[in-house]
A and B are shown apart, each in its own frame.
Chain A
């Protein structure tokens, strides 16, 4: 099956620093990747859609200057949380949609738990 990796799995940082999270599709090419945020015992909230070679599309209420997304290749998208604050602490999950497979199937990465002190 399709495999999506995410790194790091956990990160603890000080308030004001920036954190970069990588999302990779390991065995397929992903023209589109998605970044979600998930609070404890809550659903997946889409933050932005990342398209290879173009600017990301952000959902309403998501600050594009705070959550920088880069989709430089068909297998890699990165999310950078800039000037992180404690309220940014959350579980961030990426997913990838294969250009070679049927329809809209998305495969998720294992997630990154971010804790901002």
Chain B
């Protein structure tokens, strides 16, 4: 099955700086890579996703890059704000279509300090 590794486990940045979280996956059949943000005690919220037919996607301060050859993808947050503080999870779908199921990384706790 799919195996997703995520680094770092914790990340502290100053407000206004950029944050980068990296993930690797093992199954070359994976073609969908979402990123979720989870605040304490809340549900994971989808913040951005990317499919294997593109290499980069951007949404305001958030961007995701995908390198299919190396099997890794990254989340980039620019101009970080205190409300960006949360746990971020990457995931990969393992296989496309109706049989797909997400395998999650271990999470990155992002702390944005003033």
Could you list which residues of chain A lie within 8 angstroms of chain B, going by C-beta atoms?
31-32, 34, 41-44, 46, 49, 93, 103-111, 113
A32-B98, A108-B43, A110-B42 known; A44 vs B104 contact (CB < 8 Å) = yes
Q: List 16 interface pairs A-B (beta carbons < 8 Å), by A numbering.
A: A32-B98, A34-B102, A43-B104, A43-B105, A44-B44, A46-B102, A49-B101, A103-B51, A104-B32, A105-B32, A105-B34, A106-B34, A108-B36, A108-B45, A110-B42, A111-B42
Could you list which residues of chain B lie within 8 angstroms of chain A, going by C-beta atoms?
32, 34, 36, 41-46, 49, 51, 89, 93, 96, 98, 100-107, 109
Chain B residues in 8 Å Cβ range of A93: 43-44
Chain A residues in 8 Å Cβ range of B32: 103-105
Nearest A residue to B98, CB-CB: A32
A43-B89, A103-B32, A104-B96 known; A109 vs B101 contact (CB < 8 Å) = no
- Measured in the bound complex, the distance between the Cα atoms of B97 and A44 in whole Å is 21
- Measured in the bound complex, the distance between the Cα atoms of B93 and A103 in whole Å is 10
| Distance to closest chain A CB from B85 (angstroms) | 15
| Distance to closest chain B CB from A80 (angstroms) | 21
Chain B residues in 8 Å Cβ range of A46: 101-103
Q: Are A34 and B101 interface neighbours, CB within 8 A?
A: yes
Contacts A106-B102, A108-B45 known; list 11 others, CB within 8 Å.
A31-B98, A42-B106, A43-B107, A44-B44, A93-B43, A103-B51, A104-B100, A105-B34, A108-B44, A110-B43, A111-B43
| Distance to closest chain A CB from B65 (angstroms) | 19
- Measured in the bound complex, the distance between the Cα atoms of B34 and A46 in whole Å is 16
Q: Are A105 and B101 interface neighbours, CB within 8 A?
A: no
Q: Are A44 and B46 interface neighbours, CB within 8 A?
A: no
Q: Are A105 and B105 interface neighbours, CB within 8 A?
A: no
